[in-house]
Structure 1
Amino acid sequence: MTDWQAHERANRAGAALATTESGETYLYFDTAAAAPPVVAAVEAATDYLWKTARTGPYLPSLRAEIYAQLDEIRARVAAFMGAKPAELAFTRNGTESISLVARGLRFEPGDEIIVPDTEMLSNIAIWRMVANETGAKIVTVEGGTSGLLTPEAIAAAITDRTRLITFAAMSNVTGAVQPVTEICELAAARGVLTHVNAAQALGMMPVGLDVWPCDFISACTRKGLRAIEGSGVLAVRERHLAEMTPMLAGWWNASFDDAGEVVFPETARRFEAGSPNIPAILALGAAVDTAHGLGIGRIHDRVRELTTYAAAKLRELDGAQIYGPADDADRLGILPFNIAGVDPAKLTLALEARGIIIEAGHFMATPILAAFGVERMARVSLHYFNTTEEIDRLIAAIESERGTNA
């Protein structure tokens, strides 16, 4: 049995966790935005930066050591995502990963791209741009107030012109966990490509080309995986690499052949241009090692237990409304809610003053906002480092703020 608290004392913030003016430790419930990085990730990045300060970044021996490390990390991250090293690209964030897929494929006038109404901005904007530029068409599938997609709804939206389906494995708004395998299987049977946005899922549940029969997986690594900001990953099945056009070209990913033509590697490194973000990649390697050591299955189970506990406690509050799936088994880690008569933005600020970090906003959750007649929601997002005692403290703080933040 994993001692989550002992692990967290060693890996969340080292010797001294930040405390409030009253001496209490901050409680962090905003992993859906970004989680506190594990200490090993921070140390990997800062150790490298100190080396560059002492010797210069291009000391030949240091450079050789670092490039060897990047190859090793690519292999470890790829294995964590059920991919071959040749199928794994390092990116700056999940948004860049999505854009590399969208810009790398070729769309023709009349091609259809299915983008459900469950998606966040980064998995909407680039597809609309590509559609406008190429004459392709965006097709919407509704997730409704639950935020859950059904394979039947996806199947009904597929036509002979459908080229690709892009969707998030786990909603940033509701934590709704989509039936990824079923959607990807039915798409493949119709010859349709699938891109899965795993920004919220990576590090929280099993994710990978060996788990899902999809074509592309994109993700940032600052959330569930607990790496540092400024890194992301893109997994592309090997059979698609040669047909995709790199969005960026230059040093690191491009060269010239004998005829002077620009050529790219036959691996996913073709999507990486310019100097790699070495501190972030080193941090990513440490974060993956930490998650692998804990076991992604155990992490998943832990977060599911905490989700069920937090949902039950929130529902005990008078006037509480939790949005998204009716069955908590269909969500993971994320709970959007409102308390009758309480402004969620004011509540968020009040909780911060108490050392409790949540978030509030509209989260692009248009169907939910319209259905319930609200403009924004509060959002609690959990990870394995949270505890039931912390959740109890959160609930008590919300209750005590009810009268002062209406």
Structure 2
Amino acid sequence: MIDMMTIHKDMPLLEQYIYLNTAAASAIPQPVVNVMTSYLQKQASIGPYLPSFRRETYEQVERIREKTALFIGASKEEIAFMPNGSMAINYISGGLDWHQDDEVIVLDTEMLSNYVPWLALQQQGVRLKVLKTNAEYMVDLHELEQLITPNTRLIAFAHMSNAAGTIQPASEICQLAKKYNVLTLVNANQTVGLLPILVTELGCDFLVASGRKWLRGPEGSGLLYVRKSLIPALTPIMIGWGSTNWDYQNNDYSFIETAKRFEPGCPVIPSILGLGAAIDYANAIGIQPIYQRVQQLTKYLIEQLETIPGIVLYGPQNREHRLSVTPFNIEGHSPDDVTNYLADRGIIIEAGTFMANTIMERNHISKMARFSPHYFNTFEEIDRAVSGIKEFLEISKTKAQDSR
């Protein structure tokens, strides 16, 4: 059972807002903020380079690396800290040794950061192939298999779409790829911290995740997982101390043998400490209870949204295929007007393309609104949000009648 009273005490923003936009970035729990500000205050008091303080800080970073690895079922040697998921993807797209006529497969539900880096490889002769997902926005494994050729090098896909809410059969995709010796990258920006994930069970080669979303960590935090055997096959796209050995006498260099080779220069200490505290917070609640609560909230949200006149829901029709992310439009109304009306009343959702242009094109729209509740949300908050939309529609209807 999730202790909602304690969780709400840790969320000062609830004094002003109903926050239903975790797919963009979540509200940080106060204990996570405390860990970060405590470090910054201590640094301000004694300076960043007191030897004992610096040693203690870097030891803590390595403990968080181990904690992060355990959270997704990896070893600490396979984890690099990243400021965001986009940079992590670029370390893979820019680090592999590509050959003319190599192929990368992505889904037609991907957003910019897991589409354009692969598109850019066309300048090196790499071919980008886009798999059209089915009516439920899900991968059809048979169609995926038909798309694989001897030139297919990698399949990159979002575990959950940020603009459809579909959970993909990640382990089955990775298993199929392995059958053909194809690499897999799982973009888990929308699932780490939301549902149980173990890279050993997924069978993926690479996994990326942002800390600021479902983990409820700070901006500027994230992770890159690289299967240990593949670390030497990735050439870092940036070089700096901490990631590189410099053989000055022989005018040569080499990269660190672990995933730390992808961390050039000073680590972003406050964000890493915040990420560690966010993982502790999630572990204290339990990922399985988090997942089950969000399932319940999602089901309830859809049921309530379907009572709104003129609403169009995007994404899978089978509710079992969707988690949290619920995009919609209301016929005859701008999604910006809907979200702005709710925001003026302290209810935060979002409108936009979410950089998922292929989904916009698929639905013949230019923009959509989106709900994305997390475990800290309540059924009552969903009721208030839906009531707010209905109130907006009534006011709009009255204004339209008055203007005639």
Scaled to the shorter chain, the TM-score interval is: over 0.9
Of 55, 70, 84, which residue of structure 2 is paired with 1:64?
55
1: CA distance between counterparts of 2:189 and 2:198? 12
Q: Does 1:129 align with 2:128?
A: no
Q: Which residue number in structure 2 is paired with residue 109 of structure 1? A: 100
**Which deviates the most, 396-405 or 180-189?**
396-405
Please tell me the residue identity of whatever aligns with 1:92. Answer: P
Of 38, 46, 56, which residue of structure 2 is paired with 1:55?
46
Q: Does 1:344 align with 2:335?
A: yes
1: CA distance between counterparts of 2:178 and 2:40? 45
Instruction: Give the match's secondary structure for 1:255.
Output: strand
2: CA distance between counterparts of 1:235 and 1:56? 32
Report Cα offsets for 1:86-132 as digits up to 9, x if no partner.
Answer: 00000110001100111111110000000111101111111111232
Of 190, 194, 198, which residue of structure 1 is paired with 2:184?
194
Does structure 2 conserve the Cα–Cα contact (< 8 Å) formed by 1:146 and 1:323? Answer: no
Please tell me the residue identity of whatever aligns with 1:44. Answer: V
Deviation at residue 293 of structure 1 after TM alignment: 1.3
Unaligned runs of 5+ in 2: 398-404
Report Cα offsets for 1:7-56 as digits up to 9, x if no partner.
Answer: 3223323xxx454xxxxx31001100000012121111111111111111
Q: Does 1:214 align with 2:204?
A: yes
Q: Which residue number in structure 2 is paired with residue 37 of structure 1? A: 28
Residue correspondence of structure 1 range 240-389 to structure 2 within 5 A:
240-257=230-247, 259-389=250-380
2: CA distance between counterparts of 1:95 and 1:374? 25
Of 126, 129, 140, which residue of structure 1 is paired with 2:130?
140
Instruction: Give the match's secondary structure for 1:115.
Output: strand
Please tell me the residue identity of whatever aligns with 1:393. Answer: R
1: CA distance between counterparts of 2:308 and 2:158? 30
- The verdict on how the C-alpha distance between 1:281 and 1:333 changes in structure 2, with shifts beyond 3 A counting, is same
Q: Specify which structure has the higher proportion of helix.
A: 2
Does structure 2 conserve the Cα–Cα contact (< 8 Å) formed by 1:145 and 1:371? Answer: no
* CA RMSD in angstroms, aligned pairs only: 1.4
1: CA distance between counterparts of 2:202 and 2:361? 32
Deviation at residue 373 of structure 1 after TM alignment: 3.1
2: CA distance between counterparts of 1:123 and 1:353? 33
2: CA distance between counterparts of 1:275 and 1:66? 12
Does structure 1 conserve the Cα–Cα contact (< 8 Å) formed by 2:108 and 2:359? Answer: no
- The verdict on how the C-alpha distance between 1:269 and 1:365 changes in structure 2, with shifts beyond 3 A counting, is closer
Does structure 1 conserve the Cα–Cα contact (< 8 Å) formed by 2:136 and 2:318? Answer: no
Q: Does 1:98 align with 2:101?
A: no
Q: Which residue number in structure 2 is paired with residue 155 of structure 1? A: 145
Report Cα offsets for 1:308-332 as digits up to 9, x if no partner.
Answer: 0001100111111111101111011
Deviation at residue 367 of structure 1 after TM alignment: 4.7
Instruction: Give the match's secondary structure for 1:338.
Output: strand
Identical aligned pairs, as a percentage?
Answer: 43
Does structure 1 conserve the Cα–Cα contact (< 8 Å) formed by 2:243 and 2:255? Answer: yes
1: CA distance between counterparts of 2:181 and 2:311? 44
1: CA distance between counterparts of 2:388 and 2:49? 51
Q: Which residue number in structure 1 is paired with residue 19 of structure 2? A: 28
Instruction: Give the match's secondary structure for 1:211.
Output: helix
Unaligned runs of 5+ in 1: 20-24
1: CA distance between counterparts of 2:232 and 2:10? 40
Deviation at residue 149 of structure 1 after TM alignment: 1.5
Does structure 2 conserve the Cα–Cα contact (< 8 Å) formed by 1:172 and 1:200? Answer: yes
2: CA distance between counterparts of 1:163 and 1:128? 14
Q: Which residue number in structure 1 is paired with residue 72 of structure 2? A: 81
Aligned residue-pair number: 396
Q: Which residue number in structure 2 is paired with residue 182 of structure 1? A: 172
Q: Does 1:205 align with 2:195?
A: yes
2: CA distance between counterparts of 1:183 and 1:91? 25
Q: Which residue number in structure 2 is paired with residue 11 of structure 1? A: 10
Please tell me the residue identity of whatever aligns with 1:249. Answer: I
2: CA distance between counterparts of 1:270 and 1:74? 14
Deviation at residue 154 of structure 1 after TM alignment: 1.3
- The verdict on how the C-alpha distance between 1:2 and 1:185 changes in structure 2, with shifts beyond 3 A counting, is same
Does structure 2 conserve the Cα–Cα contact (< 8 Å) formed by 1:108 and 1:136? Answer: yes
Q: Which residue number in structure 2 is paired with residue 167 of structure 1? A: 157
2: CA distance between counterparts of 1:373 and 1:242? 44
Q: Which residue number in structure 2 is paired with residue 2 of structure 1? A: 2
Instruction: Give the match's secondary structure for 2:199.
Output: coil
Please tell me the residue identity of whatever aligns with 1:94. Answer: G
- The verdict on how the C-alpha distance between 1:256 and 1:47 changes in structure 2, with shifts beyond 3 A counting, is same
Instruction: Give the match's secondary structure for 2:201.
Output: coil
Does structure 2 conserve the Cα–Cα contact (< 8 Å) formed by 1:111 and 1:135? Answer: yes
Please tell me the residue identity of whatever aligns with 1:163. Answer: R
Q: Which residue number in structure 2 is paired with residue 22 of structure 1? A: none
2: CA distance between counterparts of 1:368 and 1:321? 14
Deviation at residue 391 of structure 1 after TM alignment: 0.3
Please tell me the residue identity of whatever aligns with 1:161. Answer: N
Does structure 1 conserve the Cα–Cα contact (< 8 Å) formed by 2:110 and 2:358? Answer: no
Q: Which residue number in structure 2 is paired with residue 223 of structure 1? A: 213
